[in-house]
Amino acid sequence: MLNQMDSGNRIKLPLWMEQGNDPGTFAPCSGRKTHRFLGRTINEMKKTLADDLTAEYYAGQDGLLQRFDPRSKLIMAIIVILLAGLTRSITVLLALWLLSLVLMYCSHLPVLSLQKRIWLFIPLLTLLISLPATLNIFNPGDILLKIHSFGEGAQFLGIKLPAVLYISWQGARSAAFLFLRVGISLTFGILLAISTPVARLLRSLQVLGVPQLFIMIVEMSFRYLLLLLNISIEMYEARSLRTVGKLPPKTQRAMVASSIAALFVRSMTLSEEVYQAMASRCYTGEAVSIEEMKMGRLDFAAILIIIVLTFSITFGGAFFG
């Protein structure tokens, strides 16, 4: 017992703590293998909150993109993404990529970190998926790289194979277009999101004719999802600190189920409190913003430059090849 003292007036350790040193009878609570599921869950939720805080930090920097009005940035991003999706010139795509690098640098954004996160996942996965389309079986054309020679009359599962299997120039060009288009579209979408606070970015959707009520619902959902995520982290950490030893799978499933139920009850209570607070403040269905968005000369000049460049590329022949 904790209250028991030995002859030297020192607290005597309880029996279960003394047995904790024996790995055969008790699993240490500090081991990595004790709560793998719980630890991974907490880490992933913390990463999500950290990404949101990082985006808010960069959106508050005094950079080039941060000085633009969110509505002008939204219009320019849509024009650039449409240009990247419709152009048939790799030179134009590479020029857009270089433009994104310049914008990142001038906006005080981590260029190398963003490039790794953008190009090493979705565009790379798209390129891997499109690799079979580079073969002459699906996209015949000029030989770029010879892979294997089957000879005349070769068949596989009743399918006639070509005499020579190779990567065609036309197929490689199509895969490169798809890779660059996906990467550039994702790049400018991330630039728009990371250089603009979420509330102002959602409010700028009114330029596209999105109803204001829908924008307000999305904004509140985003904010309260982050709040519930923070509550979930606190619940998991509290449960982890109060758990000693290795729990059986049945007990772990019961803990997760009880945490989900508790989080659901707290979210329902929170939504009711938010509704009552809005009703007590005479909410009429129109969202009121403290910050007023106003487009200046820099915004109109940037939009005009993007439009002029788009039309020059179009009528210059690079748009249609």
Condensed to tens digits (0 to 9), the pLDDT of residues 14-43 reads 554 444 444 334 344 444 444 566 667 777
* Counts of helices then strands in the chain (DSSP H, E): 11, 4
Q: Helix, strand, coil: what percent of the chain each, to 5?
A: 65, 5, 30
- Side chain identity, residue 27: A
Percent of the chain with pLDDT over 90: 16
Q: What phi-psi label fits residue 171: left (phi over 0), alpha (psi between -120 and 50 degrees) or beta?
A: alpha
Give the distance from CA 171 to its chain's centroid. 30
258 token code pair? 């009880």
pLDDT of residue 268 exceeding 70, the answer is yes
Of 265 and 291, more confident: 265
132 and 138 in contact (C-beta within 8 Å)? Answer: yes
CA distances from 191 to 55, 182, 243 (A): 10, 14, 43
- Side chain identity, residue 101: L
pTM, rounded to two decimals? 0.74
Rounded Cα–Cα distance for residues 286 and 214 (Å): 11
For residues 72-93, give the mean pLDDT.
90
